[in-house]
Structure 1
Amino acid sequence: MKDFNDYVNAYKKQLQIGDIQEAYAGLVKYVTKLGTTLSKNLSKSYSFGSLFQGYMDYTYFYYSNKFLKDRKLKMGLVLNHPKMQFEVWLLGQTIPIQERYWEYFKNTKWNKNRTTKPQYSILETILIENPDFSDLDRLTKQIENHLIQVTSEIIEDIKRSKLK
């Protein structure tokens, strides 16, 4: 079994290569620009929050609208680093709100094959499974289109739930 020093040495080797720093900085820069673009393009539908870089696990920002805020809910656009995919998460402001909405959403298509509530959210769904970072403009458009569609579907499900 490795000890902490072994991990630090492996980390140091990877840092000396330099690829991780370049990739991470590029990903954070892209998600920052993505948030700015979505904020500009979708400002009539949603308000967008600041970027959270995470710890090489998730880079994300929140977005919401009046309907979601009235229910103490918000959405997150998440770059899941270990899986290298973009996801949309539905989040509640407090644990009781998360639990109440989890009870409804655990039996919907959004949590299919899931037996326990996600650690940080009510639901997590894949937006772009294998993003192609070679054409960032095209990727941004894909994310925007999928985000609009998925968020609308989730909001419709919230409306059907009649939860407040």
Structure 2
Amino acid sequence: MSDKKLNDRISAYKEAFASGEIQETYQCLVGIVQILRTEFTKKYKGEFSVASVMHGYIDFTYFYLQNDYLKRHKLKFAIVFNHQLAHFELWLLGQTKDVQVRYWEKLKGIRWVNPESMPEYSIFEVTLLANPDFDNITGLSESVHSAFGVLSQEIFSTLEAYE
């Protein structure tokens, strides 16, 4: 957080919003996440339940996925668009903070888990698509689906090995 007082930051804030470009870009990005959510709902029907798109503050737009295995273990996935980095991530989350801490402790040895510090909102966060081509929604979507397919299988195998 900046040391500046809020009043000192307001002019830059108003200037950033003046052109309407931020609002328009944000809406387009949220729309892409909504498209992905719809595709995930169709593609994984019967395999995963897919929740509605949620908005963080201006930092994250995401939706949750859960299957029977994740539900039994009080876990869920989130497909996350990180607005600051402008890329897509896959998060593994616990139903409660206690569940997250327990799994973070248990999984510290795996490559996705930072053993030094647990993320604020998840057990771990993995980049799904680092450099999305926002002008090619089909390619972007195929890349996210492909990365999710591979990564989710690796995560399930790892979770089962650590049971």
Query: Quick one: which of 90, 94, 100 aligns to 2:102?
Result: 100
Residue 29 of structure 1 deviates from its aligned partner by: 1.0
Give aligned pairs, total. Answer: 161
CA distance in 1, matches of 2:87, 2:106: 26
1:117-159 CA-partner distances (Å, limit 9, x unpaired): 1111001100001111010011011101111111111111110
The 5-angstrom pairing of residues 14-163 of structure 1 reads 14-112=16-114, 114-162=115-163
- The amino acid across from 2:38 in the alignment is T
- What secondary structure sits across from 2:89 in the alignment? strand
Deviations 1:23-59 (A, max 9, x none): 0010111101110111101213211001112111000
Provide the secondary structure at the position in 2 that maps to 1:110.
coil
SS at match of 2:79: strand
The question of whether the paired residues in 1 share the 8 Å contact of 2:51 and 2:64 is answered with yes
Q: Is the 8 A contact 1:90 1:122 kept in 2?
A: yes
- The amino acid of 2:29's aligned partner reads L
Structure 1 residue 2: Cα displacement: 2.4
**Are 2:50 and 2:64, in contact at CA under 8 Å, matched by a contact in 1?**
yes
Aligned residue for 2:52, secondary structure, equals strand
One-letter amino acid matched to 1:37: E
Contact 2:104/2:113 (<8 A) preserved: no
RMSD of aligned residue pairs (Cα, Å): 1.1
- Residue 116 of structure 1 deviates from its aligned partner by 0.6
Give the TM-score normalised by the residue count of structure 1: 0.94
SS at match of 1:131: coil
Per-residue deviation, 1:6:
2.4
Gaps of 5+ in 1: none
Which structure 2 residue ranges, 5 or more long, are not aligned?
none
Residues of 1 paired with 2:61 and 2:140: CA distance?
16
In 1, the alpha carbon distance for the partners of 2:48 and 2:125 equals: 19
